[in-house]
Structure 1
Amino acid sequence: MTVTSPHAPLPVEPPTGCPFDPPAELGRMRIEEPIKKISLPDGSWAWLVTRYADIRAILGDTRFSSDTTTPGYPLSGMTGGANQQNRGFIRMDPPDHTRLRRMVTREFMVKKVEALRPEIQRITDELCDAMQTAKLNGADSVDLVEALALPVPSLVISVLLGVPYEDHAVFQGLTGKLLSRTIPREEADAAREELRAYLDCLVTAKEANPGDDILSRLIVEQQQAGEITHDDVIGFAALLLVAGHETTANMIGLSALSMMGEPGTAQQLREDPSLIRGAVEELLRFHSIIRNGPRRAATEDIEIGGQLIRAGEGVVVAVPSANRDPETFEDPDTLDVCRPNAQHHVAFGYGIHQCLGQALARVELQVVLGTLLRRFPTMRPAVPIEDIPFRTDMAIYGCHELPVTW
C-alpha cells in the first residue's frame, strides 16, 4: 500500500517570465520556511533546504550520507530508484567514496585539464566551422544544442573514456530518459539497464584490448590488481559518461542564450577576454541547472538552521535557491560577470562530494563561450524566447533546442 505524503512536492517549474529564474516558490520558502517538508514521488517525504548557509552546512557535514542505501535517503529517478546496482562512488560515503574517487582524480586535476584546452579549442572551432558552412549553404537557422552544445562535451568525454563517438547518439538518448522527470519509471529503468548493457560490452572489450583512456587505466591498474571489479568499472563509466556531457551541454546553451540577451555584457567580454573566467563562474551561479538536489540522509540527529533533522530523515538541498540567496550574493537575480564572489557558488556542490569534473566543465565553458562571442558577434535567437523549448521536464535544466541565426 502506497502512503501519500500530505506535503507539497519539490518546486521545479520556473516562473512565468524569465526562463532563467529558479522556481519562485523557492524564494518564498527561503524567507518563510527555509527548511520545509516536501513530498516525494514514492509517497514519502524529505526536508527541502533553501538557504545558502544551511546548504553549505549540510553538504560539508559527513553525517549527512550520500549513500542511496542509507535509511531515509530520498530516492529519485536520477538516483536509480530502488535499483542500486553500479550506483557509482558519488552515491557512496567514506571510506568507499574516498578510495574510489582517488582512482580517477588525477585525470580531472586542473593542470591535466588545462593540457586539454588546445584540443577542446580545436573541437569547438571545427564545430563552429560547420555552423558557418550550414548558414552559407542557405540554412535559415542552426540548432546550437545539436550543433555545438552537446557535441563539445560529448566528444571530449568520449576521448577521455575511450567511448566511440559514433555511439554518442546511443548514450545521449539513454541519459535523456534517465534525466526525464516525466517518463514512466519502467521506461527509465529499461534505459538504465540498456545503458549498463552497452557499458558492459565496452568494458569487456577494453579488458581484452586496453587502450589509452581512463577506463583502460582503471582496468590495468585497479581491476587487474584486484582493487575493483568489472562491475565497478561499469559504474565509473556510467557516472563519468552521464555527468561528463549532460550538465556542461546544458550550461553551454543557457550561457549562450544569456549573452544573446545581454549585448552590453557580451561586448564587454569581447573587449576584455580576461573576464571570461569570472563570467563562467557567474553563469554557473546564475543558472544552477541541477534542479532537484543534491540529496542526503541524516545518520544521526543534527540541528541545521534551528531545525532538528533526525537520523533516518532525508534532505533535498535546493542549489538554485542557494545561489540566488541575497544573504550571500548581492542583487542575486542580476547577471553580473564582474561579481566579486561568484566563485562561491554551489553549482558544483560542496564538501567531499564536490563535482569531480568541475575543472573540465570550466575549461569547456570558457573555450566555447569565448569562441562564440568572438566568431558570432551578431548571433541571436531565431525564434521568440517563449518559443524555445526549455527542459522543464528534466532533472537538469537547459534548452532542448536553441535555434540561432546571425
Structure 2
Amino acid sequence: MSYLFPTYSKKSLRIKEGRGAWLQTEDGKDYLDFMAGIAVCNLGHRHPKVVAALHQQVDRLWHASNLFHYDVQEEAAKQLVQASACDYVFFTNSGTEANEAAIKLARKATGKNHIVSMKQSFHGRTLGSMAATGQDGIKSGFGPMLPSFSYAQFNDMASLHEAVSEETAAIMVEIVQGEGGVHVMTASFAEAMVALCKEQNLLLIVDEIQTGMGRTGKLFAYEHYGLDPDIVTVAKGLGNGFPIGAMLGKASLKEAFGIGSHGSTFGGNPLAAATAIAVLAELSADGFLPEVEEKAERFVAYLKGELSGIAIVKDIRHKGFLIGIETAIPALDLIAACEQQGLLLLPAGSHVTRLLPPLTVSESEWRKAVAIIKQAATIYERENSFSS
C-alpha cells in the first residue's frame, strides 16, 4: 500500500543510489540513466563538487527566511546575471514557480493581461502555468483556466501575428518544446518573433526550465539564436537535483517587483543557493560547454547512423543533449523494451522517445545506449512484422 496520491505513473523500479550516468535498484541491478531526473541531473548523480558544496552549507545555515540577506544567495544571483541577458533574479523552488513569477511580472510591468504562448508548449501545472501551457490534456477536470492566454503554432509567424493583440503583454516560448515532442525553434521564427516584439512593444519570456543549464550545449538555449529576452525562467539543472528555480528579468522590470509584490518562503534558501553556485561553476569551466555541444553532435550522428535502416524510426530531432526519436509505434513500447535491457528513457508525447543523458556522459556510455535502442527497435520490428 502507498500513502501517496496516485498522480504519477510510477515505474516498478525501486532506486537505491546513483552515480554519474547510472542508477542502481534495491535488487542490485544497474540502469543507464538517460532520463537524468527529467533533465535535472545534468552533471550526473552525486557529482562530487556539488555534493561537497551542499555538505559545507549544511554545516553553516539551512534557513532564516528571505527577510535576511544571504551572501550565498547574492552570489548565486550574481552568477546568473553575469551569465545571462538579464539584470535581476527572483529565486523559487521549481520551474512552475518560476513561470508563475514570470507571468505575474509581465502583467504587472505592462499593465496588460494577455500573454501568447505556443500550442504543444509546457510551462507547469499550477493554475497560471497550466493556463500558459498549450496542451488541453493536462487541463482536463480543473475548471476554467486564466482567460488571458492565446496559443500560436510554434514556428509559424502567421499564427503568432494572429494571436497578438493590443492587449498582449508578452510572448512566452520554449526554445525547444521538450514535453511537446522535442520540436526545435527555427532561426527564421526566432528572428521574426523578436521583430514582432519590438514592433508591438511586447516582453519576450523564454522558458529555459528544460533547455537551460547546458542541456543544449549553451548555458541558455536562447544563446543559439542571439536572443535578448526580457524574462528568463530556469530550474531543473540549476540545482542538479536539489530543488531550486529562478526567474531572471531586465533592469526595466525591477520596479514592478517591489516589496510585497511576490514572495517565496524557501526560494533561494542557503542550501539551494550553495548548490546552484557549484553547478554554475562546473558548467562555466573552460571548455565544458563546447565539449558538451561537440559530444552531443557526435552522439546524434552516431544515433542516426545506427537507426537509419529501422522502419519504425520516422525522425530524430535534437538541440544538444535534448533528443527526440519519433517512431511509428507508441513511445512507451520502445521505452519499456529499452528498460528491460537496462536503459531508462522518457516519452515526449505519444510517439516520441526522449533522451536526456547527463552532460557528463562518456562515449562508451552513449554508444551502449544506442546499441540498446537499436536492439530493442530491431526486435520489435521482427516480432511485430513491421515494415514502413
TM range (shorter): under 0.3
By relative contact order (CA 8 Å, sep 6+), the higher-ranking structure is: 1
TM-score by length of 1: 0.25
Question: Which structure is higher in helix share?
Answer: 1
TM-score by length of 2: 0.26
